[in-house]
Amino acid sequence: MEKLAHASPADLMRWMVGYRNVAAQLAAPPRRTPVEMITALFPEVTVLAAEKCQLEFLQDNEFWNALNGRMIEGRRCHVGHADWHDFLYMAVRFAKPKVFFETGVFDGQSSAIILNALRKNQAGILVSIDLPATDAIQGSTDGMVNTTLPPNRQPGWAVPDYLRERYHLELGDSRVLLPQLFRRYPAIDAFFHDSLHTFEHMYFEFNEAWPHLSLGGLLLSDDIFWNPALHRFCREKKLQYVRTERFGAVRKPNG
């Protein structure tokens, strides 16, 4: 109690976010490792092949040095690493998407990971949407350590130059841009939500993307416990998602 009384507003926000939506957490499937997630979603991929792919990512010194250099220059800190980064990289390597959609870019770490995997695949483009966080955005960047972009930087500023060839960045609200972009790209192979984590927005994005997703395509979401949108969406579509701690993934059934 005393700890709570001395907590900063940012600490309180993080605490509330962590405990938001207990029902969704109770109903969630068990947490898996990135390799377990890959073998669950891609039954043809062996544990050995997934582990090899994870090492390919973790030992990619060219990538980590380039991204780290950008983060040190722009944020005065080292690049972070989460379980789901490994999963994201491996998912792109095994799914080999031709068109990958991402909402929520910020500094560009997830964009860089996807682009790195597309480069290794020697195929595919990344279409990313971001509403630039020049001020903190409630329900999105307000739960992060850095709540705004560094001064005078565009979203995706940390993406190393050698990965930009396959990058198509669109600036604006995904609620407005997604319908427009789906007219330009009616068929996509992967969709990753990481923009505004309100129930309405996440549920909107999942439903907007689903009809455009190819059979076997991937629907991915970070921060799945901010609200029950992914759980509700999957229940309605009779799908079972897999997850790391807070990152969910599901494949569109083939038939």
- Which residues are 188's β-sheet partners? 213
Report the distance separating Cα 223 and Cα 176, nearest Å. 22
Q: Site for ligand SAM (CB under 6 A): which residue of 54, 103, 221, 244? A: 103
Q: Site for ligand SAM (CB under 6 A): which residue of 194, 213, 248, 249? A: 194
What CA–CA distances, in Å, run from 149 to 74, 132, 144? Answer: 9, 7, 11
96: Cβ contacts below 8 Å, ≥ 6 apart:
121, 123, 124, 189
Can residue 67 be called a binding residue for ligand SAM (CB under 6 A)?
A: no
Can residue 141 be called a binding residue for ligand SAM (CB under 6 A)?
A: yes
Can residue 220 be called a binding residue for ligand SAM (CB under 6 A)?
A: no
Nearest approach in angstroms of CB 222 to ligand SAM is 6
Whichever of 159 and 234 has its CB closer to ligand SAM, that residue is: 159
Q: What share of the chain is helix, strand, coil (3-state, %, to 5)?
A: 50, 15, 35
Whichever of 39 and 131 has its CB closer to ligand SAM, that residue is: 131
Size of the site for ligand SAM (CB under 6 A): 21
Q: Site for ligand SAM (CB under 6 A): which residue of 35, 92, 105, 202? A: 105
Nearest approach in angstroms of CB 72 to ligand SAM is 16
Can residue 196 be called a binding residue for ligand SAM (CB under 6 A)?
A: yes
Can residue 229 be called a binding residue for ligand SAM (CB under 6 A)?
A: no
Q: Which residue has the tokens 């595919």?
A: 124
Taking every pair of Cα atoms in the chain, the longest distance, rounded to a whole number of angstroms, is 55
Q: Site for ligand SAM (CB under 6 A): which residue of 195, 221, 227, 244? A: 195
Contact region with ligand SAM (CB under 6 A), list: 43-51, 103-111, 231-239, 247-255: 103-111
Q: Site for ligand SAM (CB under 6 A): which residue of 129, 163, 234, 250? A: 129
Nearest approach in angstroms of CB 119 to ligand SAM is 17
Closest alpha carbon to 24 in 242, 226, 159: 226
Report the distance separating Cα 7 and Cα 12, nearest Å. 6
Helix (H) and strand (E) counts for the chain? 11, 7
Is 30 exposed, middle or buried (CB count within 10 Å of its CB: 0-12, 13-18, 19+)? exposed
Nearest approach in angstroms of CB 158 to ligand SAM is 8
Can residue 160 be called a binding residue for ligand SAM (CB under 6 A)?
A: no
Report the distance separating Cα 143 and Cα 157, nearest Å. 20
Contact region with ligand SAM (CB under 6 A), list: 6-14, 39-47, 66-74, 134-142: 134-142
What is the Cα Rg of the chain in Å? 18
Binding site for ligand SAM (CB under 6 A): 103-107, 109-110, 129-131, 133, 137, 140-141, 155, 173-175, 194-196
